[in-house]
Amino acid sequence: MTQHVLVLGGGVIGLSCAFELRRRGFGVTLLEQGRCGGQASGAAAGMLAPYSENVEEPDAFFRLCLRSLNLYPDWQLAVKEASGLDFEYSATGSLYVMYHDADVQAMESRRLWQDGHGAKSELLDAAELRRLEPHIAPEAIGALRYPGESHVYAPDYVKALEEACRRTGVVIRDGLGPVDILRWQDGAEVRSPASGETYRGDILLVANGAWAGLMEEAFGMAIPVYPIRGQICAYETPEMPVRHMVFCSQGYVVGKRNGTLVCGASEDVAGFETTVTRRGIARLESWNGKLFPFLGGMRPFHEWAGLRPATHDGFPLLGRLRRSDSLLFAAGHYRNGILLSPVTAHVVADLLEGRDSSGPELAPFEPERFGVRA
């Protein structure tokens, strides 16, 4: 008999899981309290950058990111084909810029361990960097180049995912407001007081990003997921002067095919507030000018913010609960949810098909690792 999955949350994670589950023959209903893609996923810079984002060691999170990067070429084609919508997927590579001689040693050790994991990176001196990025600041003394990192235009990617879900037969109910969890053991039942409807399924997948932490009571467990606001801005450039994704220790700059230069991002604690502050954007403006002096004289034409779903140990909650076969989590992807969307969808679908393809690799992401209530 076809199993029916209720997916809670219509961000990139919920939509990706819904799409993959539907492709594998599950019945899927996605429940969204607001608008699909209306939170962190639509706000993201869209970088697929496992090496630039993981600079310490090859831990389980890094390996998950890498697996997802490798899934992207096929995954993005599948989303485009199923949705009939195009979105930018650009294999520009990235540059991590250095300003001080003291940075070179740290970059070299990062290069050594990451090259053991397919980075194929290259340490560039100032002249080589300037040849690749002619407008870079004169203070930059070199960069680490990762040719395999890429990016998507996140708002369009999420729109295409939503359309791919609809076209393949995922039932999407949005604008539901806060919902009540009525059952999560031995089946799933969720009620929306706003719509007056009750939704039933065999499985409940919790994929509601930064809001997952509000569900401790409902599931009787510790869920230390909380929102970290990212303020971000974009400049309009007539001819794209930046060729790569360019990182420094304080932020990043990514040129999009539509002529916008996206620059991010703050990491501040403001509860569930998604407004931008003058202070937050001013800090970005100051760093953008230090990376690319031509930005020093410009003002962003667009400023916005989103809520990254952070966790206490930096790892997402991904997998099935020990206490119930009917409940799974896919939440807490923090800075890398766009990158991690294909692998998350594959892991969830494999688990529900009874194919535990990730095995011990998933242990660090166990949803109940922070404790359950007696």
Ligand X SMILES: Cc1cc2nc3c(=O)[nH]c(=O)nc-3n(C[C@H](O)[C@H](O)[C@H](O)COP(=O)(O)OP(=O)(O)OC[C@H]3O[C@@H](n4cnc5c(N)ncnc54)[C@H](O)[C@@H]3O)c2cc1C
Window of 85-93, 128-136, 195-203, 206-214 that interacts with ligand X by CB under 6 A? 206-214
Q: At what angle do helices 337-352 and 12-23 cross, to 10 degrees?
A: 40
Q: Which of 373, 286, 262 is nearest to 323 (CA)?
A: 373
For 173, the token pair is 């109910």
Q: Which of 12, 242, 263, 351 binds ligand X (CB under 6 A)?
A: 12
By CB under 6 A, tell whether 342 contacts ligand X. no
By CB under 6 A, tell whether 246 contacts ligand X. no
Window of 38-46, 81-89, 132-140, 233-241 that interacts with ligand X by CB under 6 A? 38-46
Q: Which of 18, 17, 34 is nearest to 306 (CA)?
A: 34
Which strands, in side-by-side order, build the sheet including 188-192? 180-183, 188-192, 197-201
Q: Which of 309, 295, 157 is nearest to 234 (CA)?
A: 295
The binding track of 128-167 with respect to ligand X, each residue x by CB under 6 A or -, is: ----------------------------------------
Residues from 287 through 316 that contact ligand X (CB under 6 A):
306, 308-309
By CB under 6 A, tell whether 45 contacts ligand X. yes
CA distances from 312 to 92, 220, 225, 370 (A): 32, 18, 7, 9
By CB under 6 A, tell whether 338 contacts ligand X. yes
By CB under 6 A, tell whether 280 contacts ligand X. no
CB of 233 to ligand X, least distance (A): 10
CB of 4 to ligand X, least distance (A): 17
By CB under 6 A, tell whether 251 contacts ligand X. no
CA distances from 35 to 10, 40, 259, 358, 367 (A): 7, 12, 26, 32, 26
Q: Name the residue nearer to ligand X (CB basis): 83 or 336.
A: 336
Q: Which of 17, 18, 40, 140 binds ligand X (CB under 6 A)?
A: 40
Q: Name the residue nearer to ligand X (CB basis): 39 or 121.
A: 39
What is the C-alpha separation between 59 and 363, in angstroms, rounded? 12
Label the pairing between strands 94-98 and 245-248: parallel
What is the C-alpha separation between 68 and 13, in angstroms, rounded? 13
Q: Which of 5, 119, 225, 265 binds ligand X (CB under 6 A)?
A: 265
